[in-house]
Amino acid sequence: MLAVAGCGVDSAPSTPVNLFDEAAGTVVTRRLAFDTLWVYGGADDTIMLNADRVAAFPGGDAAVLDLLGRRVHRVGVGGVAWSWGTKGEGPGEIDHVRDLDVNAEGEVVLADAGNGKLHWLSGDGTWLREAGLPKGTINVDAVAALEGGDYILSSLMYAEALAALESTPPGPIAANRWVRVSAEGEIEGLVPFPWEGFRSMSFFQTVGSIAGARSLSSSGGSRWVFGFGLGNGFFVFNDSVAEAYPYVRHADFPEVETGGLSGGRDGFRMGYREGRPDRVARDVAIRGDTVFVLAGNHWEIDRYESATGQYLDSVPLPVPLSRFALARDALIGIVAGGMYPQVIALRAR
């Protein structure tokens, strides 16, 4: 539930919307054997307070965002290679990092929502540079590195930020918008909505994940994917041209209800009409010709052809994961549900 002061709003449900009305097909299980390459974390770990997001270095190490500890860790076969992060507002200091990714050069890029900045770290943990985001950009919750050097950000934005990027900003707070950023950190503009349904959706409904490909498309474009977390499909982008495809596991978008605050207070409240919904998808990745989707049950990876969206199969995992990333020949994930944070690297035989 979200409450915001400032204006009175009558109670009203969101407009029903669906990307697809039915699932892509029947779940087909493909069982694979996995070798565990390394595991980090657990009861004996005194460095990592939490593990919220993960990105993969090509060689199989992981960059892990420790949101509670406000730190970034590089972990792998030998344990922790380095940790980085100092809270503050100055150069090279962070406030509230929400996501991270590893680019083609092996640099770690951080989305610092608290300071409204992007930060770059070298592969050995040295701070390199930073770039500011447009004033009025809030809640930058995802960053995806693209082949070719650009980045895609997912963020909520106030109208003042949107006004600098498009001529007709939609209201005081928009749904999650994607922003394209150059390799130097310069804002290149908004990614156009790939589906008109976005314009009528609450940002509570547009929850999802983005991921960039490590190779260009056959036409030379930068590919990336967005998958709804609570809805029923995903988009594959080739630069800004997108195609929509249905998940094999279907769920309607949850209805969101908006209303006034109690006690005669000015402002509005917003929440899911029937309680917090279960997630359909928890994370996405794209490699080669395949889109990978971590199912909401934590235990399976659903695979789709990136060019056609055709569902291929679902691979059961040996451990439940909350997030994952793909290295050159390994799947790296944050283990879900444990008392202590753990990161694991797996390789299919």
- Which runs of E-coded beta strand occur in 29-173? 34-41, 53-56, 62-66, 71-76, 79-84, 97-102, 108-112, 117-121, 127-132, 137-145, 151-157
Q: According to the model, what pLDDT value does residue 110 have?
A: 96
Q: According to the model, what pLDDT value does residue 172 have?
A: 47
Reported as a single tens digit per residue, the pLDDT across 87-117 is: 999 999 999 999 999 999 999 999 998 898 9
Q: According to the model, what pLDDT value does residue 9 have?
A: 43
Reported as a single tens digit per residue, the pLDDT across 26-65 is: 999 999 999 999 999 988 888 899 999 999 999 999 999 9
Low-confidence residues of the chain, pLDDT below 50? Answer: 1-11, 167-173, 268
Three-class SS state of 163: helix
Reported as a single tens digit per residue, the pLDDT across 269-300 is: 567 777 888 999 999 999 989 999 999 999 99
CA end-to-end span of the chain, whole Å?
44
For 160, 227, 318, 328, the CA distances from 348, given in Å and listed in that order, are 48, 24, 11, 12
Q: According to the model, what pLDDT value does residue 43 have?
A: 87
How far apart CA 331 and CA 328 sit, in angstroms, is 9
Q: According to the model, what pLDDT value does residue 6 have?
A: 40
Both tokens of residue 327?
Answer: 């290295």
Right CATH number for 21-348 from 3.30.360.10, 2.120.10.30, 3.40.50.300, 1.10.10.10? 2.120.10.30
Minimal CA–CA distance to 189: which of 200, 199, 197, 181?
181
Q: pTM here? A: 0.90
How far apart CA 220 and CA 218 sit, in angstroms, is 5
Q: According to the model, what pLDDT value does residue 260 have?
A: 56
Q: Where are the domains of the chain?
A: 21-348
